[in-house]
């Protein structure tokens, strides 16, 4: 029953992928059960299981107990994208990064911010606005609110030295995040900061992060025109 003894889960995965790519198994098709595949490949069921789980995680297979495993109808659904630290992102492109803090204050947040975090709008938060540069060109305008009751230690940090995001990411466990991406026309203020003209299309990321159920920070990132976010599947 053996092909040529495929006995690592990686090779099982590769072989199953091959059959999908070469359309031996078509989208929507049922594929043999784990026991039969194990026999065919000459390996243990656990090994097949590991491979199939990996492929299911990637969205290439769909599995249900008793019902069995089938080739996913729409294989490419999930893309993983990396949320970079701005400094590293700039440096990876071979640029020189620096940033300057435009504002740093402890004030009561607007209702829109407080409510999105599920916090009272009467408690002061840290408000940081800063501009990131790549090779001395404006790259990113960042408008951030930080929950001081969760990360009080940030008060003692020199944010001119280290970017708030980078500090947070290294000093606070962040377990949950909520991100949205959109396009916006640059406001007059944004245009001035990013050295472009009002109305230019700007790529915007809005991100809120929690540690467990406690909100940590909310930030709006407005990238200079021309920015592209890239990922592979």
Whole-angstrom Cα distance, residue 65 to residue 75?
Answer: 20
Token pair for 195: 């050295």
Residues 54-113 that bind a second copy (CB under 8 A): 60, 71, 73-85
Determine which residue in the list 4, 66, 122, 226 makes contact with DNA, applying CB under 7 A. 66
Q: Of DNA, a second copy, none, which one does residue 196 interact with (CB within 5 to 8 Å by kind)?
A: none
Q: Is residue 150 within 8 Å of residue 214, measured between CB atoms?
A: yes
Specify the residue, 5 or 161, whose C-beta has the smaller distance to a second copy: 161
At closest approach, how far in Å is the CB of 42 from DNA? Answer: 7
Phi, psi of 16 (to 5 degrees): -65, -40
Would you give the distance in Å from CA 179 to the centre of its chain?
Answer: 8
Whole-angstrom Cα distance, residue 216 to residue 207?
Answer: 11
At closest approach, how far in Å is the CB of 16 from DNA? Answer: 11
Residues 67-126 that bind DNA (CB under 7 A): 67-69
- Give yes or no for residue 196 binding DNA (CB under 7 A): no
Q: Is residue 121 within 8 Å of residue 114, measured between CB atoms?
A: yes
The binding site for a second copy (CB under 8 A) comprises 17, 20-23, 27-28, 60, 71, 73-85, 166, 169-185, 199-204, 209, 211-212, 223, 225-233
């Amino acid at each position: 029953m053996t092909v040529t003894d495929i006995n690592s889960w990686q090779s099982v995965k590769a072989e199953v992928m091959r059959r999908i790519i070469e359309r031996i198994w078509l989208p929507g098709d049922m594929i043999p059960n784990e026991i039969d595949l194990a026999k065919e490949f000459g390996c243990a069921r656990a090994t097949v299981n590991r491979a199939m789980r990996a492929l299911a995680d990637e969205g290439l297979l769909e599995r249900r107990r008793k019902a069995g495993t089938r080739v996913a109808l729409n294989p490419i659904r999930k893309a993983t994208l990396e949320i970079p630290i701005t400094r590293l992102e700039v440096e990876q492109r071979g640029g020189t990064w620096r940033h300057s803090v435009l504002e740093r204050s402890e004030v009561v947040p607007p209702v829109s911010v407080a409510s999105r975090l599920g916090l009272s709008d009467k408690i002061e938060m840290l408000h940081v606005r800063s501009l990131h540069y790549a090779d001395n060109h404006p790259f990113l305008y960042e408008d951030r609110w930080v929950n001081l009751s969760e990360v009080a230690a940030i008060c003692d940090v020199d944010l001119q030295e280290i970017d708030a995001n980078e500090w947070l990411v290294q000093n606070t466990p962040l377990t949950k995040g909520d991100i949205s991406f959109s396009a916006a026309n640059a406001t007059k203020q944004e245009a001035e900061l990013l050295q472009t003209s009002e109305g230019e299309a700007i790529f915007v990321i809005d991100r809120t992060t929690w540690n467990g159920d406690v909100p940590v920070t909310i930030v709006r990132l407005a990238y200079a025109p021309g920015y592209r976010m890239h990922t592979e599947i």
